Structure 1
Amino acid sequence: MATEGSTLSVIGAIIANLLIAILKFIAATFTGSSAMLSEGIHSIIDTTNGLLLLLGIKRSKKGANKIHPFGQGKEVYFWSFVVAILIFALGGGLAIYEGVKHLNHPKVLDNSNIIWNYAVIIGAIIFEGASLLYAMKQFRKKYPTGFTSALEESKDAASMAIIIEETAAMIGLLIALVGVTLTHFTHNPIYDAISSIAIGVLLIAVAGFLAKETQDLLIGESISNKDLKMIKEILSSYDELEFFGNIKSMHLGPEEVLLALEVNFKDNITLHQLEETIADIKNKIRKIDSKFKYIYIESNSISKSDFN
């Protein structure tokens, strides 16, 4: 299931993006800047995405039932994928459309109100920066090691989506700042239009990355190499095992894993010892990491050639 930290990060991002969107649209209205309009659209889409992620987190917490015997943890992955589609279609598409429209039909910006653009961009950078830092802080609580490697191995799609979105928002604001500044000092609206197109391209790239990550999780992604190493070390510590075969796993949600083990016990152990060993393996794995909710161990069903 999604963690409490994920929920707090999403709520923080929703509040920040909604406030920023209002400011950006006000600035776009006063100055006629296509870059600011694109950024306003970007923030509205980010706000909508946050609400969808909250919906996914809530639905992912539903327990198992007859139709979904392993629970509904993958709901958060589905809604994260929907978020990626919205970023691509609405965020990237509309930003590029606005940029191309202003490129073909340049509109001179109202420099008498240009202070609105600078004030909003600087304010937005502060809000977005605070939201990003908070999301990263919540993420680091769960992954205290290297941030980059943790982001790659994380199966928490909601936290990942927020961090990626907020990072893209910061980059988009810097692009908008460059476009507005160049337009202001050169009196050439082409820079404003180009910055809008650049923001659109950025959003499409972000959407592609997020879609690929959530696609893997939706299809069924295995545990990290760190977790795999831990499982192998536990199995190797049992003298009762002659050898073990493939370790198969799949994330059913950020905090739920299905684990299937193939092991071969030595011929001289009793049925009671076999049952005790299987129970002990499960307990030891869950004691180290509670996300291994479903563990299935199949014994004496493999040959030595399957040894992993």
Structure 2
Amino acid sequence: MSASGGTKAIIAALSANLAIAVSKFVAAVFTGSSSMLAEGIHSVADSGNQLLLLLGGKRAQRAGDKKHPFGYGRERYFYAFVVAVVLFTIGALFSIYEGVHKIADPHQVESPIWAFAVLIFAIVAESFSFRTAIKESNPLRGDQSWFAFIRRSKSPELPVILLEDLGALLGLIFALFGVAMAVVTGDGVWDGIGTLMIGVLLAVIAVVLAIETKSLLVGEGATPEVEEQIRVALEGSPEVARVIHMRTMHLGPEELLVAAKIAVEHDDTAGEVARGIDEAERRIREAVPIARVIYLEPDLDRMRTGASG
């Protein structure tokens, strides 16, 4: 993937989750805590998700062929959508099941010192991963709010990692709450409640990711700001009287398709129209470098023709 920041954030999250998963499972064995077991499964699911994002980025780099003439850029959207499905099916559903089971049949948390030590270690590691994701996202986010960045980003990796890391940190806090309350009150039901909270949290994040990545997978156009840049570039060409209509669609995070019908003067020669189209394409690519595939259809400027007649 061209966004090296996205790759860096994925690797940071993967490294943190692999170390955390091992520590959580060790703690789950010693404590019998369902919250720790749910968090261990959560970390395994996150690790798998990050591997899927890396795989999607690698496969998206393949050149176009006869079957896929526009290339494979959307592979990144597909694998991001799979991440949302995996997060829900493995992380959320397992945690909800474990939480309900533990509430119905509570057990005392044993050796809680293991749980507290692992949770503190995990919070520190996840904070490092989350900080890396924030740092790498800021240049792309600009002056947008975080909510707007997640909603409008055409590159799926950073929003996915941001939400996963946020979910991981909140999940650790929920697990810490459940284990602490179970130890203080001596009632294992609190451990189940913490586990159930983790499951609901993961389900919410998975639904948000699924909605956003589905929109990208189906085919999103350029942002209004980018479309305005393209329009200005087109109408800045001497041979283009105006833009009649325009359509855009992302073939991938860094590849945009532009199709527009442009008005030309009725007395322009074919050669002048051809040169005008070439110049218009050059101006578009200069203004919006990700505009890789451009189709321009010339038409007579009927507004002016009608006015003169």
Q: With the length of structure 1 as denominator, give the TM-score of the two structures.
A: 0.93
State the SS of the aligned residue for 1:146: coil
Q: Are the aligned partners of 1:262 and 1:302 in contact in 2 as well (CA < 8 Å)?
A: no
Contact 1:2 1:253 in 2 (8 A): no
Secondary structure at the counterpart of residue 97 of structure 1 = helix
CA drift at 1:238: 3.7
CA gap 1:280/1:27 in 2 versus in 1, 3 angstroms: same
Mapping 1:1-308, distance limit 5 Å: 1-110=1-110, 113-148=111-146, 149-300=148-299
Measure how far apart 1:239 and its partner are. 4.6
Alignment check: 8 A CA contact 2:60 2:75 kept: yes
Residues 155, 69 of structure 1: CA spacing in aligned structure 2 closer, same or farther, 3 A cutoff?
Answer: same
Distance 1:302 1:69 in 2: 32
Local SS of the residue matching 1:257: strand
Structure 1 CA distance for aligned equivalents of residues 258 and 58 of structure 2? 24
Q: Where does the alignment leave 5 or more consecutive residues of structure 1 unmatched?
A: none
Q: Which whole-Å CA distance do the structure 2 matches of 1:99 and 1:64 have between them?
A: 47
Structure 1 residues 303 and 75: alpha-carbon distance in aligned structure 2, compared to 1, 3 A threshold: farther
- Asked whether the 8 Å contact 1:265–1:299 carries over to 2, the reply is yes
Is the contact between residue 61 and residue 72 of structure 1 (CA under 8 Å) also seen in structure 2? Answer: yes
Could you tell which deviates more after superposition, 133-142 or 91-100?
Answer: 133-142
Hey, what's the Cα distance between the residues in 1 that align with 2:136 and 2:145? Answer: 12
For residue 292 of structure 1, what is the amino acid of its counterpart? A
**Per the alignment, in what secondary structure is the counterpart of residue 248 of structure 2?**
strand
Q: TM-score if structure 2 supplies the norm length?
A: 0.93
Contact map agreement 2:160 2:209 (CA 8 A) in 1: yes
- Structure 2 unaligned segments of length 5 or more: list them: 304-309
Change (3 A) 1:268 1:22: same
CA contact (8 A) 1:2 1:156 kept: no
What fraction of aligned residue pairs are identical, expressed as a percent?
38
For 1:235, the aligned partner's letter is L
* SS of residue paired to 2:67: coil
CA deviations 1:113-159 (Å, max 9, x no partner) are 21211121111111111111111212223343335233322111122
Letter of the 1:59 counterpart = R
Distance in 1 separating the partners of 2:251 and 2:28: 43
Runs of 4 or more, structure 1, over 4 Å off, are 301-304
Q: 1:263 to 1:25 in 2, by over 3 A?
A: same
Residue 54 and residue 63 in structure 1: after superposition, are their counterparts in 2 closer, same or farther (change >3 A)?
same
Give the RMSD, CA atoms, in angstroms.
1.7
Task: Kindly state the Cα deviation for residue 301 of structure 1 after the two structures are TM-superposed.
Answer: 7.0
Partner of 2:307: none
Contact 1:99/1:197 (8 A) holds in 2: yes
The CA deviation at 1:50 is: 0.6
- What is the distance in 2 between the residues matched to 1:301 and 1:217? 34
In the aligned structure 2, how far is the partner of 1:184 from the partner of 1:246?
66
Q: Which amino acid aligns with 2:245?
A: N
- Give the Å deviation of 1:7: 1.6
Tell me the distance in 1 between the aligned counterparts of 2:139 and 2:13.
Answer: 18
Amino acid corresponding to residue 176 of structure 1 in structure 2? A
CA offset at residue 251 of structure 1?
0.9
Cα deviation for residue 74 of structure 1 reads 0.7
* Whole-Å separation in 2 of the counterparts to 1:120 and 1:284: 56
The amino acid of 1:48's aligned partner reads G
Contact 2:230–2:288 (CA under 8 A) maintained in structure 1? no
Separation in 1, partners of 2:22, 2:161:
20
